[in-house]
Amino acid sequence: MPGLGTTTIRISNNANRVRIEPVVYIGRKSLMLVHACRLLKYQKRRGISSLWSLRDTYLETGGGPVAPASSGTRAAHMPSEESAVDRPIKQPKMSFYKRELPSPPSIAFSSEQGQGIFQDALKEGMLKGFFSLIEQFRTQDEPSFCGLASVAMVLNSLAIDPRRPWKGSWRIFHEQMLDCCIPLETVQKEGITMSQAACLARCNGAEAQEFPFGSVTESEFRDMVKESCSTSTFHLIVSYSRKHFLQTGDGHFSPIGGYSPTYDAVLILDTARFKYPPHWVPLPQLYEAMKYVDPTTQLSRGFLKVTAATVLHSVLFALDVQQTSHWQASQDYLQGTLPKILKNSNGSVRDAAVAMCMSIPEDMLHQVIASRVSNAGCNQGACVQRDAVDTLLTEIKVVGLYQDILEKTKADTASDAQGYTNEKRLMYILMCEDVIVDIAASMGWSQSAIDELKRYIDTTPYKVVQHEVMYLREQYKAIGTQYI
């Protein structure tokens, strides 16, 4: 390559055209000035006998205008600096194949030393959570998706049902599905904060506790790491700065996969596997790495404790516990109307179940069971996910009792205009199954008839419906005996 400040020239001759490309090397940037002229006309008009004299003339003038020629000779003229086309060479976009993991302070998981630390953690029983996490270990889809990938990985390891499809008929969490708390376009540009990661976990069936730096001591953090690594019932996601470990970049999220008491080291299951492999880091340094300030929030980072919720939040339906007057009407139905229907069932379990559904007063039904408003946004775990609602309604349509209700009402589709009346009829009966069974027994039903009723309204094959019913039952129990 020419030295700094050197000028070189490249001349190409194509038929009757000449192209002169002087390149001046100035530091890291090169300035290319391209001039084109017609060879024959230029030679005749400017009195230049050859391409080489043209080159020499150009270099003598420093690439600027040519000085007037001596008397009797027409002045050779080159385009002025003002007419030159300034075209800086565009620097190529660099790509990278991984980064070398700075060691120390980190120790690569697959290294000989890393394997030794793993064996120690395994011997000490501090890898119980590792195996459920490693089953779901993934590489983040975007450079800024470390938070989304970490949350998706933990939700899947806790065996939480997304209740909406990922691809085809399969349900599993993926980064692209975690869009209820913050738009994916924003995450792609800016990443997420610790509070937003917690919000995403709560909205998708988990309980998430936030622990900003300083809320626990290093010793307390170590105890929580030990507890999480000795069980698979919950996991920790750390939000920290890579800078503390001499790594490129800054803010990052990763699940903790294990702990070695002998080395006091934590296993970072880094979801940015295109950059760094999983690695061990000293726990005291990880604690200090959470101290770095997040420029978005201007607060220190921290970690999340993520646990599967005992009962998944409902997708669409919930009991209205704000108003209490309608619960008296519900009690009148259960204690008055329902026993009469079961007593006069004439031995047909199916007819009795349909009669129970159709006899529920509609006004009371809509007051007791409310439906969530679509696109209501996120409220720390109470957002409406339309895809999950569609999955619920699809499953409801294949429940035998619901199909019989449709036949009875001559309706062929679920209708928002109806306020989900038939869906609520089904949900009410399923919610009150235990009460109905007790009343049937008191009305003299045989055990075989009761078992047949249970089979008829069984929702075990329909997981999303089952989760919805479980949520309603928990609410139902929480109301107590005052109104029921």
Residues 115 and 68 in one domain: no
Residue 96 domain-assigned?
Answer: no
Residues 80 and 156 in one domain: no
Indicate if 252 belongs to the active site: yes
Residues 346 and 255 in one domain: no
Residue range of the domain that includes 30 = 7-88
Q: Which of 120, 235, 244, 270 is catalytic?
A: 270
Please report the pLDDT score of residue 86 as a whole number: 57
Measured between alpha carbons, how far is 424 from 459 in angstroms, rounded to an integer?
15
Q: Which of 203, 229, 235, 252 is catalytic?
A: 252
Q: What is the pLDDT of residues 24-34, one digit of tens each?
A: 444 433 333 33
Mean pLDDT confidence for 158-162: 90
Q: Is the pLDDT of residue 282 over 90?
A: yes
Residue at which a domain ends, from 308, 332, 354: 308
Residues 243 and 152 in one domain: yes
Q: What is the pLDDT of residues 1-16, one digit of tens each?
A: 444 444 444 444 454 4
Residues 325 and 303 in one domain: no
Residue 249 domain-assigned?
Answer: yes
Mean pLDDT confidence for 201-228: 92
Provide the CATH number for the domain around residue 39.
3.30.160
Percent of the chain surpassing pLDDT 90: 39
Residue at which a domain ends, from 308, 332, 351: 308
Residues 369 and 403 in one domain: yes
Q: What is the pLDDT of residues 196-208, one digit of tens each?
A: 889 888 888 889 9
Residue 410 domain-assigned?
Answer: yes
Residues 330 and 274 in one domain: no
Residues 369 and 303 in one domain: no
pTM for this predicted structure:
0.70
Residue 94 domain-assigned?
Answer: no
Is residue 54 very low, low, confident or very high in pLDDT (cuts 50, 70, 90)?
A: very low
Please report the pLDDT score of residue 92 as a whole number: 79
Residues 224 and 283 in one domain: yes
Indicate if 313 belongs to the active site: no
Please report the pLDDT score of residue 313 as a whole number: 84
**Lowest mean per-residue pLDDT among 52-66, 326-340, 386-400, 406-420:** 52-66
Residues 335 and 254 in one domain: no
Please report the pLDDT score of residue 124 as a whole number: 92
Residues 161 and 258 in one domain: yes
Residues 27 and 162 in one domain: no
Q: What is the pLDDT of residues 119-143, one digit of tens each?
A: 999 999 999 999 999 999 988 888 8
Q: Is the pLDDT of residue 52 over 70?
A: no
Please report the pLDDT score of residue 408 as a whole number: 84
Indicate if 146 belongs to the active site: yes
Q: Which of 120, 146, 181, 229 is catalytic?
A: 146
Provide the CATH number for the domain around residue 129.
3.90.70.30
